[in-house]
Amino acid sequence: MPTKATSVRRKPAASRAGKRAAAKSTDAAVVPEGYYRDLVWNLRNGVVAITRDGRIAVMNEIAYRILGLKPQTAEIGRPFSEVLKDVPDVSRILASAFEVSHLPNRAELRLKRTSKVIGYTLSHVRDARGRVAGATLFFKDLTRVEQLEERERLRDRLAALGEMAAAIAHEVKNPLAGIEVMAGILKRQLVDSTDAQVILADIIKEAKMANTIVLEVLDFVRPIRLQVEHIALADVVRDAISLAESHVAKGQVQVRVSLPDDLPPIQGDPHQLRQIFTNLVTNAFEAMTGGVGDVEIVAAALAGEEPAPGVDHAGPMVQIAVADNGPGVPPEVMDRIFSPFFTTKPQGSGLGLAIVRKIVDAHDGRIDVGTRPGGGTLFRVTLPVKSQHELFG
């Protein structure tokens, strides 16, 4: 009997092992064949995988979108050098996958095609024997993150500059005021001297210009305190156009405005926003050679964007584009155009666009500059419909 009982106990053990093996086999069979393809396709990061002979094995929708390419299912199996010919900077990264021993991990790259900044990791794909069978590029759009970091760096620079400007403001303003007053007195006393009148008029003019620059510096470094209210952005833009026309003779410049009636109202400071668009439209007028050309101002409502790290939400936005057909911004200065004290104008202070960007940042928006199709300059100001600032009375 004991022997028989022992035999009975061993049989269920073998049976349980068999059941476990069968269960594993059943679990593996549950995963559909296209599951892993769908998994890669729906990742929130861009993925480009190539085989050892340099052909596209995987390229998901996010990858196409970030790289600014149109999805093509027929591209699987084609050489990556052909598929990515319009983004040579990415193609070069993939080409180096089989040539270097240490692949880049969490590196960053600015795409020339779209001006987007991506963070990427390049890794090998190995087969069961450990041999390199291909390479995979994982990447994410970091443009918004970079903008937030640049905003923080700008705030740090503004704080340092503000301390300096506050210290020298009175030291500079008082002598300028004295020069202007004394030149005015001399101008009234030397009415019979034509040469003296011309020289003194130039002195007064230069003193006023220097005083204006000092005031612009103070405006730039002074913290912005928004008086937020519900406003119709279309009204702000129309007022800005009128102000720009009063500041600069527009000549024969044609202004085309497209402001949809269903544009949602936003929360913002109407005075500060009016300053933004007055500056942009004024610059557009001044960019016209011979006072001939056209300026186009177009507004559009945008859906919410994907929140960036550190941002609680990103709701609906409103975008205003100001474009002209002037000579445009040279590519070599495009990255410096919003920098303080950088200007291409002979009499410019280099603070106009820096102040514009500061106001946009204060509204939790963003401003971009590019080339208008067909030539010219295009500024895009994107503002959230709902501000994170509290409304004042």
Q: Model confidence over 52-73: pLDDT tens digits?
A: 999 998 898 889 888 888 887 7
CATH topology of domain 229-384: Heat Shock Protein 90 (3.30.565)
Just give the CATH number of 35-141: 3.30.450.20
Report the DSSP pairing between strands 292-302 and 366-371. unpaired
Domain extent listing, the chain: 35-141, 146-221, 229-384
Q: Are strands 107-110 and 132-141 parallel, antiparallel or unpaired?
A: unpaired
The two three-digit tokens of residue 160, written as one number: 């340092």
CA neighbours within 13 Å on the CB side: how many for 206?
9
Residue 24 has pLDDT above 70, yes or no: no
pLDDT, tens only, 213-259: 777 777 776 777 788 888 998 999 999 999 888 877 767 788 899 98
pLDDT-derived band at 393, boundaries 50, 70, 90 = very low
Identify the pLDDT of residue 5: 46
DSSP symbols for 41-77: HT-SSEEEEEETTSBEEEE-HHHHHHHT----GGGTT
Mean pLDDT of the chain: 79
Instruction: Kindly report the pTM of this predicted structure.
Output: 0.52
Give kind and range of the element (H or E) at residue 353: helix 352-362
Q: How many residues does the chain have?
A: 393
The predicted structure's pLDDT at residue 308? 44
